[in-house]
Amino acid sequence: MEVIALRLMPGSDIRRELETLAKREHITAGVIIGAVGSLSKTCIRFANRDMPSELIGKHEILTLSGMISAAGTHLHMSVSNSQGECIGGHVTYGCEVYTTLELVIGRMPEVTFERVLDEATGFKELKISQ
């Protein structure tokens, strides 16, 4: 496994930046190893919901996990507000970095992640090739 470390700057859209990174670096399979940062705008989709929700106020990122590749990403995140209340869900476009987002990504060049439609779920699901 190779490691990529980076920092996203204020105003960066997390999902868009990770998709751009995966394409630019030709990442065939990657995993979020660590993430620490804050958000000025938080947009996540909760379980069994069709549309994302925008959370009010600034949030600290407690966890960011997921799979990334040039073929697509799947990210989940938990955050806390200024009262320490926690919530999480599927990362959508619109999550904007407040002060920083420090990331470590593990890159697995011998593996390929694809997203293919799964008839059973109706979603593009992970297909792993080695």
User: Mind listing the pLDDT tens digit for each residue in 3-59?
Assistant: 999 999 999 999 999 999 999 999 999 999 999 999 999 999 999 999 999 999 999
pLDDT at 118: 95
Average pLDDT over residues 93-122: 96
**Where in the sequence is the domain holding 73, given as residue range(s)?**
2-129
- DSSP SS3 for 94: coil
Which CATH number characterizes residue 66's domain?
Answer: 3.30.1330.80
Number of domains in the chain: 1
pTM: 0.92
**Residue 87 confidence class, pLDDT cut points 50, 70, 90:** very high
Query: Rounded mean pLDDT of the chain?
Result: 96
Q: 103 burial class (0-12, 13-18, 19+ CB within 10 angstroms)?
A: buried
C-alpha 83/C-alpha 30 separation (Å) is 33
Instruction: Give the Å distances, CA to CA, from 11 to 1, 7, 39, 60.
Output: 30, 12, 9, 15
Opening angle at CA 31, ends 28 and 33, nearest 5: 150
